[in-house]
Structure 1
Amino acid sequence: MKFSLFSYPRRILPKSLYGRAFLIIFTPLIFVQVITTYVFLDRHLNSVTHLLAGAISSEISVATEIYQEALSQGKLLESQDLLKVFSSADRKILSTLNLTVQYVPEKQLLKNSKKMLHRHPWADEILLKDLSKKLFFPFVLLSDSDNIFVNIELSTGLLEISLPYKRLMSKTTPLVLLGTFGASALFLTISLLFMRNQVRPIQKLAEAAEQLGKGRDVSGFRPQGALEVRKAGHSFLLMKERIQRQITQRTEMLAGISHDLKTPLTRMKLQLALLPESQDTQYFQEDIQEMEFMIKEYLDFVKGEGEEKPILTDVIVLMENVIGDIYRTSKKIDISLDPSLNSPLFLEVRPHALRRCLANLLENAQRYATNVWGSFEKKHNFLLIHIDDDGPGIPESDYENVFRPFMRLEQSRNLSTGGVGLGLTITRDIARAHGGEVILSRSSFGGLRATLKIPM
């Protein structure tokens, strides 16, 4: 088994043009956002946190110096009234600090106390480094979800300082990230709206091509969109006109020839009727009958490319009606329905053309076989109508040859058995005009299986 490095990504890629366009826009945008966010968090946020940590450590250092100076003068031992302990200048400085300070006399740090970092270790580490540079006393740094605690051991007691944790975190970081991702989402939405307008003309072109392939009217299609898409649309319309012109010319030519041949044939039949009966006249009559049959086949071939409009038709009832017509002069044909299908089964088809198509397949089957079976199956949004028989079948090498015009595997001159070789050609043309196909294969009953495949 050959393995391709890109086979798996291809399997998971979106199948639609709109999905792939979205992926083309979305993927680079995500990479840009991830890289931008990483750079922002790694540099900007780190720089801001250093500044905030420096401000906090400076405030703690100032508060520590004020308290230590008061201790060195013995003021804190004499009175706990801060209004009397500190000078007006010190009180003013302490009031401006956004710190909660409490002095506990004769208390020391635990010998095994560790610096406990909880909420954001990376931010706590930055603050810890700044405090280590600015404090000359033993201290412990702790933090929880809401506060930062710094316990400093002074000469005669323990200074407990606390402050809100939000002071260490940048307030603008969430707003910047929210604005960045919000702007990206907004521009992505706008881009998708514009992309949708660019994809819509391509979708309409694809739908028009599909409708044309089914033989339906696409006169309402108008090229739109970008220059290249409009150019493709105009090329499609030119192709449609050429195809329709070619079909019209061939149809008119065949119809004219067939009708023109009827006039001399009628005269020949009248003249032959006036002649005395003999073996020669009998041969002439057989030749005339063969020519009439061929002309009828030509006209049927022309009708197969006519202007019949598609309408919603119950194909199961249509099949039963065709079988009913054959059953009046032949054997009964059993029909089985796939469990995934429900009756009635309405599809947009050309009922007369499809009736002729089914009749050709069923008549071929009952002409050469003893028993015939019909079945309906749904597969990949296609309706498969199987016609099986237990006849001799045909060689697999001739599965495609039988669809060629005037191809007859039966070599006799008997028109009731061999025909003129246009039946299956007409059948395949009708199927392809519906956007489908006729496929021949070996039947499980021993004969031939003819499958009419039409889109649902």
Structure 2
Amino acid sequence: MRLLPAYLWPRFLKRRLPTSLWGRSLLIIVLPVLVMQVAVTWIFFDAHWQTVTARLSEGLAGDIAWAVESYEDDPSPQGLQRLADRAERSMSLSIALQEDRVLPTEKRRGPIGVVDRVLDHALESRLDRPYWFDTTRYPSYVDIQVQEPQGVLRIIAPRERAVATQAHIFVLWLTIATVLLMGVAILFIRNQVRAIERLADAAEAFGRGETVPRFKPHGAREVRAAATAFMAMRDRIQRHIDQRTALLASVSHDLRTPLTRLRLELALAPPFKRQAAMRGDLDEMEHMIDEYLAFARGEAGETPQPVSVPDLLGAAADDARRAGAEVELSAPEGLTAILRPLAFKRALVNLAGNAASHGDHVRLSARVLTSGGVEIAIEDDGPGIPDEMHEEAFRPFSRLDDSRNQNRKGVGLGLAIARDVARSHGGDITLERSDLGGLKAVIRIPGPVSLAPAEAAAD
């Protein structure tokens, strides 16, 4: 396995760190606690548990060496009995002689190898005869056997005489304390993150143009300050929007009055040479006023509701046909999405009308995205827009050159209004090169969609 170069490690770790505030906050709490627990446990086992176990094992090995030497001094049955009684009474050792037996050949070692290593080292340093021991057969005892000429001298010792058996209690309490601390930390972190999530949801909803009731700031002082600042900013923006809408509505109303009078005077006046041209100018002025007002208003106050996407595309297709274009329409039957019907219809009509005014063939299509949501494409076979000018086309009042705007009615707000509507739904519009040779406008709207049962089964 090849190791990464040192300069790549920060990038490698950064890609694998949690991206959410909740995940990173949890990591900040959990990682130091785990490191502390591992370090304390390691220090405990290395500096305390192993030391105590080694001393206990050395003491037990010394008692066993004394018992073996005492037996060899008087190997008679009476001497063995006296030795066994004394060892049982003074050292809690059970001693018995298994005559004509030899040591087992198999080695039995426990899961914690340090116990066997320490005991083996202690016995090896104290005994000069072959020995064998087992720390796994009996949970509370250690079985030690020493080879003697008469057989095997078997010694059963309490386990606590060889091992510090209470170490697991320390680890258990350390684990319990760690879990409690982490639980409290996770609870507090979750509360703080939830306050930030509520603020983010409110900001996102406001960005989509939804009416969000005022919410009470929660969380830490800094989070409450950010929420309060957001609400103040939202109120200022809303006042600005309301004032702009009211101003445009007032201007529109004031301009419509003289336009209506001019239109009436033209209708009552006897025919003259420039009458048709003046009527066209009045129509264009009225269209411009409608565009300005629609851009300022944005239909943001409309409530989202389930809407049939094929019906909206059908209305846009009819508008394109009235403009003289040949229209191709394809959409899954029964496709429904949560939309603001009037605003979204206006966006589609703008895009379809724009396509029809620049091309002879228009294609409208819709499909369900695998990640959820719906994608709608409007294509034409017109001259298109250069790739480097796609973003420029979305700027309000932007009228691109020559190829797409010669003798065209409009003020350059069609794409701007359509993108504003798409973004108010949480989506966006992108421009691409169409297979028909012209421009392709793609609207992607996230959110839940549904299909008719037959379509869903077919998919």
| 1:369 corresponds to | 359
8 A contact 1:145–1:165 mirrored in 2: no
Partner of 1:347: 337
2:153 to 160, 171, 196: 160
Distance 2:274 2:81 in 1: 145
Give the structure-2-normalised TM-score: 0.83
User: How far has the Cα of 1:64 moved from its partner?
Assistant: 3.1
User: Alignment partner for residue 224 of structure 1, among 193, 218, 223?
Assistant: 218
What amino acid maps onto 1:437 in structure 2? D
> For the pair shown, which has the larger CA radius of gyration, 1 or 2?
1
Which position in structure 1 is the counterpart of 2:452? none
Distance 1:261-1:38 versus aligned 2 partners, 3 A rule: same
**Could you tell me which amino acid in structure 2 is paired with residue 373 of structure 1?**
R
Instruction: Name 1:334's counterpart in structure 2.
Output: 328
Q: Which moved more, 1:43-52 or 1:202-211?
A: 43-52
Q: How many residues align?
A: 434
Relative distance call for 1:438 and 1:164 in structure 2 (3 A) is same
Checking the alignment, whether the CA contact within 8 Å between 2:101 and 2:151 is kept in structure 1 is yes
The 3 A distance-change label for structure 1 pair 402 and 238 is same
**Code of the aligned partner of 1:354:** F
Which residue of the other structure, out of 38, 53, 57, is the alignment partner of 1:49? 53
Paired residues of 1:101 and 1:160 also in contact (CA < 8 A) = yes
In 2, Cα distance between equivalents of 1:93 and 1:162: 10
RMSD across aligned positions (CA): 3.4
Matched, 1:5 2:9: yes
Structure 2 residue aligned with 1:127: 119
1:96-137 per-position Cα deviation (integer Å, ceiling 9, x unaligned): 5433322367x6979xx99967446543443344445555x5
Match for residue 164 of structure 2? 170
- Superposed CA deviations along residues 15-68 of structure 1, whole A, max 9, x for unmatched, are 211111111111111211111111111121112212321342243244335434
Q: 2:97 & 2:431 partners in 1: Cα distance?
A: 99
Matched, 1:386 2:381: no
1:288-330 residue CA offsets vs partner (Å, 9 max, x unmatched): 2322222233333344245212223233432234324544675
Residues 86 and 10 of structure 1: is their aligned pair in 2 closer, same or farther, counting only changes over 3 Å?
closer
Q: Give CA deviations for 1:204-257 in whole Å, capped at 9, x if unaligned.
A: 111111111111112243321101111111111122112111111111111101
Equivalent residue letter for 2:281: D
Between stretches 38-47 and 160-169, larger displacement belongs to 160-169
Distance in 1 between residues matched to 2:294 and 2:97, nearest whole Å: 111
2:455 is aligned to: none
Aligned counterparts of 2:92 and 2:28: Cα–Cα separation in 1: 50
Structure 1 counterpart of 2:354, which letter? N
Matched position secondary structure for 1:265: helix
| Aligned-residue offset at 1:159 | 5.3
2-structure distance, mates of 1:305, 1:17: 34
User: CA–CA distance in 2 between the matches of 1:275 and 1:121?
Assistant: 111
Equivalent AA in structure 2 for residue 353 of structure 1: A
Deviation at 1:94, TM superposition (A): 3.6
Q: Name the structure 2 match of 1:314.
A: 308
For residue 150 of structure 1, what is the aligned residue in structure 2? 145
Q: Is the contact made by 1:389 and 1:447 (CA closer than 8 Å) also made in structure 2?
A: yes
1:343/1:183 Cα in 2 relative to 1: closer, same or farther (>3 Å)?
Answer: farther
**Residues 115 and 61 (structure 1 numbering): CA distance in 2 closer, same or farther, change over 3 Å?**
farther
Q: Which residue of the partner structure matches residue 356 of structure 1?
A: 346
Residue among 269, 283, 291 paired with 1:275: 269
Question: What letter matches 2:115 in structure 1?
Answer: A
Q: Which amino acid aligns with 1:427?
A: A
Correspondence for 2:20: 16
User: For 2:179, which of 181, 185, 188 is the aligned residue?
Assistant: 185
In 2, distance between residues paired with 1:308 and 1:51?
82
In structure 1, C-alpha distance between the alignment counterparts of 2:73 and 2:59, rounded to whole Å:
21
Paired letter, 1:166: R
> How far apart are residue 184 of structure 1 and its match?
1.1
1:290 paired to 2:284:
yes
Aligned partner letter, 2:145: V
Give identity over the alignment, percent: 36
| Cα deviation code 1:178-212 (max 9, x no counterpart) | 22122212221221111101110011111111111
Quickly say closer, same or farther: Cα 1:285–1:387, change in 2 above 3 A: closer
Shift of 1:451: 1.5
CA 90–10 in structure 1, closer or farther in 2 if over 3 Å, else same:
closer
AA partner of residue 160 (structure 1) = L
8 Å contact kept, 1:410–1:417: no
Cα separation, 2, equivalents of 1:367 and 1:318: 19
Rate the CA distance shift 1:109–1:261 in 2: closer, same or farther, 3 A.
Answer: closer
CA–CA distance in 2 between the matches of 1:70 and 1:4?
Answer: 73
Name the structure 2 match of 1:102.
Answer: 96
The answer on whether the counterparts of 1:152 and 1:158 sit within 8 Å (CA) in structure 2 is yes
Distance 2:421 2:98 in 1: 101
Change (3 A) 1:284 1:316: closer
Checking the alignment, whether the CA contact within 8 Å between 2:317 and 2:364 is kept in structure 1 is no
Candidates 437, 442, 447, aligned match of 1:446: 437
Among 191, 199, 206, the alignment partner of 2:200 is 206
Q: 8 Å contact 1:115–1:140 — kept in the other structure?
A: no
> 1:64 is matched with which residue: 59, 65, 68?
68
The residue aligned with 1:395 is: 386
Q: 1:336 to 1:44 in 2, by over 3 A?
A: farther
Could you say what secondary structure the match of 1:150 adopts? Answer: strand
Q: Distance in 1 between matches of 2:363 and 2:276?
A: 39
Counterpart residue type for residue 386 of structure 1? A
3-state SS of 2:9 partner: coil
Gaps of 5+ in 2: 448-459
